[in-house]
Amino acid sequence: MTWLVVGLGNPGPEYAGTYHNAGCRVLARVADRFRVGVSERCGPAMVSGVAAMGGSTAVLARPQMYMNRSGVALPVLFERFDAAIGDLIVVYDDVALPIGKIRIRRKGSAGGHNGIKSLISACGSNEFLRVRVGILPEHPIEDVREFVLSDVARADRPLLDEAESAAAAAVETLIAEGADKAMAAFNRKDLRKAKEN
């Protein structure tokens, strides 16, 4: 079995530092941890080579279209790597979750996230593993779309950086030890409290 780890975000350097690209940044961290490059074209996505990870193998993938069309990449990836929905782990930002928290889920609705909507539509199912990275700041958000497409504020960077690092570790734990252990290890963590202590 080869896991397919997909990091969501928008393509292009102008989006690299935005809240909405947390999934791509987590994927880059996983790639660094396992010394693989996400540099090979596979249809409408960039992929890594097959990496040994936690006693299994995994391929990292980054769709190269805008977030709301991310699902277009899945059929080509599934065919190329002989993968199915049960082999899929998706990493993405979540504006319903505070910065400093991550959540691992086995399945669920899109929750208003256009990238996840696109993936569910492409798969015909919502039953895939996901690692949600919280991006909700402490201050109110007037326009969600404008917020997620804005560069991460300087005040938010340290905590989001820690959360993205934790999300990369969560991906590794999912693959090595399974969903139950990963959820037990990461779903209760609140990096905001660690900062206060």
Q: Supply the CATH number for residue 28's domain.
A: 3.40.50.1470
Average pLDDT, the chain: 93
Q: Give the integer Cα–Cα distance in Å for 108 and 16.
A: 27
Please tell me the predicted confidence (pLDDT) of residue 174: 95
Q: Which of 140-179 are b and which e, b meaning 16 or more Cβ less than 10 Å from the residue's Cβ?
A: eeeeeeebbbeebeeebeebbebbbebbbbbbbbbbeeee
Helix (H, G, I), strand (E, B) or coil at 17: coil
Q: Torsion angle of alpha carbons 23, 49, 31, 116, nearest 10°?
A: 10
Is 20 annotated as catalytic?
A: yes
**% of the chain with per-residue pLDDT over 70:** 98
**Beta-carbon contacts of residue 42 (< 8 Å; ≥ 6 apart):** 61, 76, 77, 80
Domain coverage including residue 164: 2-196
Using pLDDT thresholds of 50, 70 and 90, give the confidence band for residue 75: very high
> Looking at the predicted structure, is the pLDDT value of residue 115 above 60?
yes
Distance from chain centroid for Cα 14: 19
User: Is-contact 109 139, C-beta < 8 A?
Assistant: no
Count of structural domains within the chain: 1
Please tell me the predicted confidence (pLDDT) of residue 54: 79
Q: Considering the candidates 8, 10, 20, 29, report the single residue annotated as catalytic.
A: 20
Look at phi and psi of residue 156 and say left if phi exceeds 0, alpha if psi is from -120 to 50, else beta.
alpha
> Looking at the predicted structure, is the pLDDT value of residue 112 above 90?
no
Please tell me the predicted confidence (pLDDT) of residue 1: 75
Instruction: Report DSSP state, residue 106.
Output: S
Q: How many CB atoms lie within 10 A of CB 125?
A: 13
Q: Is 73 exposed, middle or buried (0-12, 13-18, 19+ CB in 10 A)?
A: buried
Q: Give the helix ranges, DSSP H, for 58-156.
A: 74-80, 114-123, 144-148
